Amino acid sequence: MSTLNGKERLLITGGAGFIGSHCISYFCRKGFDVVVVDNLSRKGATHNLQWLKESVNFRFYQSDICDYLAMQAVFQQECPFDVIIHLAAQVAVTTSVLDPRTDFDINACGALNILECFRLYSPDALLIYSSTNKVYGELNKIALVEGENRYQFPDRIGISESQPLDFHSPYGCSKGSADQYVIDYARIYGLHTVSFRQSCIYGERQFGVEDQGWVAWFIIAATLGIPITICGNGKQVRDLLHIDDLVKLYYLSIIHRDILKGEVFNVGGGYSNSLSLLEFLELLQRKKIDISYTFGATRQGDQHIFISDNTKAKNILNWEPIIPYQDGINRLIDWISHNRELLKRINDIA
Ligand SMILES: NC(=O)c1ccc[n+]([C@@H]2O[C@H](COP(=O)([O-])OP(=O)(O)OC[C@H]3O[C@@H](n4cnc5c(N)ncnc54)[C@H](O)[C@@H]3O)[C@@H](O)[C@H]2O)c1
């Protein structure tokens, strides 16, 4: 385990996004010297940035990770970093299907730009990569049972890192490609890297939209009176991981940086925090949050069920989720109800 002096320099790409804004807030408060890169392309990113600037100190570069010269300039100005958290990405599977080239440019080439700057200017840093459970594809060879409201695994509680990779969708391919580069940079160049294959992350300041961030999106849509479409029969199951649990995991990985050389971990809310879309709608109805919905076509490559087996992260990083989905969802509902006007503006509602 590494002892931290509390003044480590940390680069966060995509820092004005959902996960990034929580990382900035958390690590600034812990005393880290935080540098942020974001091109502010995500709706809500500018608001996150403004909110952060009012509460904590960090240096911000409005730059695009696809621009290698711009990334070099940030590294030359700010290096050496002790930690790099690479979050910037095109994050929606649907968008990746419509425009696979842009998706690849950002998620694969952009990640390679960050890896190259890391290798050349800050080789002693730990690089944390926010990968995705989508690298395991549709999981259609795993036996399933179709219950009344959800799919279930008959013989297991989760998917571990030994699950074969199966990139499906341009997003799966571009994120999966970066995931493999992150592992290989440890192997080939001897660098410290870790890839977290994340399940569904949710929480406050998530500007969920129809194409990404469904937990927040359902509540936002209900609050703003926007009807939603459930893709498929709604029995798809996801394990929900609250953002605070994820940020704590990133912190623990920094403490354990010495043993992280190309490690991968599946990280999610686990079985006890798993919910199907139908179960989530029922939960909202019990809270008197009415939502108008219809059913649409199943999305290509959509997993019927994903529940992370967190055993490796528990054994090696001493991490497990502690925020039950019931509490996390209440917190998200509170945040959304307090930010109704902002969410109306962001969703272009008069
Ligand atoms: N939220 C989840 O459930 C989830 C699950 C698995 C993996 N991930 C991964 O976690 C990371 C962060 O996700 P998030 O939910 O915070 O998404 P987000 O969209 O809120 O944040 C991404 C940020 O990256 C920025 N960005 C996008 N393209 C950029 C570019 N070319 N250059 C610089 N900045 C750019 C956006 O402006 C945004 O602020 C992503 O890599 C995503 O693939 C998220």
Q: pLDDT tens, 285-314?
A: 999 999 999 999 998 889 999 999 999 999
Domain assignment present for 89: yes
Residue pair 208/215 in contact (Cβ under 8 Å)? The answer is yes
Q: In sequence order, which residues have a C-beta less than 8 Å from that of residue 156 and are 6 or more positions away?
A: 142, 309
pLDDT confidence tier of residue 118, bands split at 50, 70 and 90: very high
Predicted pLDDT of residue 156: 80
Domain assignment present for 124: yes
Q: pLDDT tens, 226-237?
A: 999 999 999 999
Question: Per the confidence metrics, is the pTM higher than 0.95?
Answer: yes
Predicted pLDDT of residue 320: 98
Residues 274-294 have a mean pLDDT of 96
Distance CA 317, CA 339 (A): 35
Query: Is the C-beta atom of 275 inside 6 A of ligand 1?
Result: no
Within the chain, where are the H helices?
18-29, 45-53, 68-78, 93-98, 100-104, 110-121, 170-189, 214-224, 243-255, 277-286, 311-317, 325-338, 340-346
pLDDT higher than threshold 90 for residue 208: no
Percentage of the chain with pLDDT > 90?
93
Q: How far is CA 271 from each of CA 44, 45, 222, 278, rounded to the nearest angstrom?
A: 31, 31, 26, 16
Domain assignment present for 2: no
Predicted pLDDT of residue 149: 97
Q: pLDDT tens, 43-80?
A: 999 999 999 999 999 999 999 999 999 999 999 999 99
**Residue 157, token pair as written in the block:** 């509680």
Which atom of ligand 1 has the smallest separation from the CA of 45? 39
Q: pLDDT tens, 132-150?
A: 999 999 999 999 999 999 9
Domain assignment present for 85: yes
> What element of type H or E holds 86?
strand 83-86
Predicted pLDDT of residue 132: 98
pLDDT confidence tier of residue 348, bands split at 50, 70 and 90: confident
The boundaries of the domain holding residue 67 are: 9-345
Domain assignment present for 282: yes
- Closest by CA to 76, choosing from 27, 126, 11, 127, is 11
**Residue 54, token pair as written in the block:** 């009012």
Residue pair 320/313 in contact (Cβ under 8 Å)? The answer is yes
- 129 included as an active-site residue: no
Residues 277-284 have a mean pLDDT of 97
Distance CA 37, CA 51 (A): 16
Domain assignment present for 4: no
**Residue 224, token pair as written in the block:** 């703003």
Beta bridge partners of 328: none
- Closest by CA to 287, choosing from 330, 225, 244, 246, is 330
Residues 212-218 have a mean pLDDT of 95
Predicted pLDDT of residue 239: 98
Predicted pLDDT of residue 60: 98
Query: Is the C-beta atom of 110 inside 6 A of ligand 1?
Result: yes
**What is the CB neighbour count within 10 angstroms for residue 146?**
11
Domain assignment present for 1: no
One-letter amino acid at 193 equals: T
Of 71, 87, 174, the residue with max ligand 1 atoms within 8 A of its CB, to mutate for a pocket test, comes to: 87
pLDDT higher than threshold 80 for residue 6: no
Distance CA 127, CA 235 (A): 36
Which atom of ligand 1 has the smallest separation from the CA of 21? 16
Residues 168-185 have a mean pLDDT of 97
Number of domains the chain contains = 1
Distance CA 186, CA 97 (A): 30
Query: Is the C-beta atom of 291 inside 6 A of ligand 1?
Result: no
**Residue 299: CATH number of its domain:** 3.40.50.720
Q: pLDDT tens, 195-207?
A: 999 999 999 999 9
Domain assignment present for 55: yes
Q: pLDDT tens, 16-40?
A: 999 999 999 999 999 999 999 999 9
Q: Which residue is catalytic, options 129, 171, 250, 325?
A: 171
